[in-house]
Amino acid sequence: MTKNKKKKYGRRQVKPFPEYLKALVATENGEVFELEGYGALGMSGNTLVPLFENNTLLMPLGSEMMLLPDRKPRVFNISKQCVETLTENPYLPGEKIFPVAMFNSPGYVNAYACAYEERNNAGYLPLFSYSAAGWGSGGFKSAVIHVDKERRQDLRLMPLEKVQSGVNKLRKKYPENRLRLHLEHCALVSGCPAAKNFFIGRCEAPLPTSQQCNARCLGCISLQKTPGLSCCQERIAFTPTAREIAEVALEHIGKVEQGVVSFGQGCEGDPLLSGDVIREAIILIRKSTHSGTINMNTNASLPGQVERLFDAGLDSMRVSMNSVREPCYTKYFRPQGYSFGNVVESMDIARAKGRFLAINYLNCPGITDSPQEVAALLDFLTKHPVNLIQWRNLNYDPLRYYEAMTKADDQGEPLGMDRLMATLKKHFPTMKHGYFNPPKERF
Ligand code: SF4
């Protein structure tokens, strides 16, 4: 063997077979523990994926662990080298155990869902997202990808004293403003981070406006008709006037460097249904200042309204979509009187007017990274380019969602969320990836 060859082979190292994270389960009363001898699994559609150190991250700060009621954990039996669905603690026969999932902090997108099977007569899971989790070196680990490092919704940066002091000041300044009062309730009672940021005077402030929506999303968090599912936010019960909206927006823009104000929040319907009052408010804001970014989070169902709002001074639009395949979109959004074509038309208007356009891409592993969705997304973005994809986790029962989506279209073997993102970066190198609405200085 030559010297060179020796050197080459000498550098080679045999990688040790990666160790499974330990499976996490919970007792009926919520006590979480790791199950010795069993590896943690993630679920992507109907594919199971083992969790290791290298496809998980330490549980992000602010994340929460959840026990999945009416469900059985799916785990990997390491000595038997097979997948098992457990109904009881293998070390304590008779003790019922349940799967444990993670609801991750903003900025993290789920790579795999928690692996479980439903028990008989299981109800819907509440409207959260459920990433896979396990126990590894350093503690609890979560199957997520970090997509945005900004600490916009980091609750540690929103101390209650600061929020309360902002509330007191603005109460005196705008005693009659009903939108200010609504946000006060959001910040102090519902704990909404966007409303807290408004009173502290940082980043992005919410401008909820609309009581109505023309979609009926399966996982709508502000209106639910599905028996067994309840919404976690209450819709605003009035429509603020243009002056009330402009006062709140101008207060925020006036004191926050690179401040963003956004229509379209969790506590309302779709802002396009209040397009007239919003247009009036945008005109009032822009009469006073050219600073600040006026953004709208929307289903983009009404291209005519979108055009009028851009003409009035709207800077950016973020469009919510669970899929770029029309049958999957329609199955989830259940549009009332509009079509997927209208959404695309609105997006094209934004681009034609040179405005910043983002997709709020509602992710569920197994659907979002299915080969069918990936191909459709590449084609869609070629025809309808966007500036940014905001990777958001779909807050909906993962198995029920998979079932609904397979009725709408084929879902093949998933590519993996990390590979999907890498593919997009390769095909669209200038398109951004993140989680929050950027200020116009960062468009
Ligand atoms: S678009 Fe928003 S408000 Fe309308 S149904 Fe869907 S989630 Fe609810």
Mean per-residue pLDDT pooled into runs of 10, the chain (443 residues)? 40 62 97 96 96 96 96 97 96 96 97 98 96 95 97 90 97 98 95 96 97 96 88 90 98 98 96 98 98 98 98 98 98 98 98 98 98 98 98 97 98 97 98 97 96
Task: Note whether residue 310 is domain-resident.
Answer: yes
Name the residue type at position 23.
A
Task: Note whether residue 165 is domain-resident.
Answer: no
pLDDT of residue 13: 52
33 CA to centre of ligand 1 in angstroms: 37
Q: Which of 109, 130, 146 is the last residue of a domain?
A: 146
Task: Note whether residue 100 is domain-resident.
Answer: yes
pLDDT of residue 225: 87
133 and 258 inside one domain? no
Burial code of 408-436, b = ≥16 C-beta within 10 A, e = fewer? bbebeebbbbeebbebbeeebeebbbbbb
Task: Note whether residue 186 is domain-resident.
Answer: no
Give the C-alpha separation, 291 to 252, whole Å. 11
pLDDT of residue 155: 86
pLDDT of residue 6: 39
- Cβ–ligand 1 distance for 395 under 6 Å, the answer no
Q: Which of 104, 131, 146 is the last residue of a domain?
A: 146
Closest by CA position to 408, among listed 333, 343, 319, 336: 333
Task: Note whether residue 232 is domain-resident.
Answer: yes
Is the whole model's pTM more than 0.75, yes or no?
yes
Phi, psi of 354 (to 5 degrees): 70, 25
94 and 210 inside one domain? no
Mutate to test the pocket of ligand 1, among 127, 216, 218, 220 (most ligand atoms within 8 A of CB): 220
**In this structure, which residue's CA is closest to atom 8 in ligand 1?**
220
109 and 217 inside one domain? no
Q: Per the structure, how many domains does the chain have?
A: 2
431: containing domain: 204-442
Residue 34 belongs to what H/E stretch? Answer: strand 32-39
pLDDT of residue 16: 54
430 and 330 inside one domain? yes
128 and 26 inside one domain? yes
Helix axes 160-173, 193-200, angle to 10 degrees: 70
Beta bridge mates, 26: 32, 98
- Cβ–ligand 1 distance for 270 under 6 Å, the answer yes
74 and 219 inside one domain? no
41 CA to centre of ligand 1 in angstroms: 32
Mutate to test the pocket of ligand 1, among 299, 322, 396 (most ligand atoms within 8 A of CB): 299
Task: Note whether residue 183 is domain-resident.
Answer: no
329 and 419 inside one domain? yes
- Cβ–ligand 1 distance for 44 under 6 Å, the answer no
pLDDT of residue 7: 42
pLDDT of residue 9: 43
133 and 266 inside one domain? no
Task: Note whether residue 9 is domain-resident.
Answer: no
**Most distant CA pair in the chain, distance:** 87
369 and 283 inside one domain? yes
The counts of H helices and E strands in the chain are 12, 22
Which CATH number is 309's domain given? 3.20.20.70
pLDDT of residue 129: 97
Task: Note whether residue 198 is domain-resident.
Answer: no
pLDDT of residue 232: 79
Residue 277 belongs to what H/E stretch? Answer: helix 275-288
- Cβ–ligand 1 distance for 319 under 6 Å, the answer no
Q: Which of 146, 167, 190 is the last residue of a domain?
A: 146
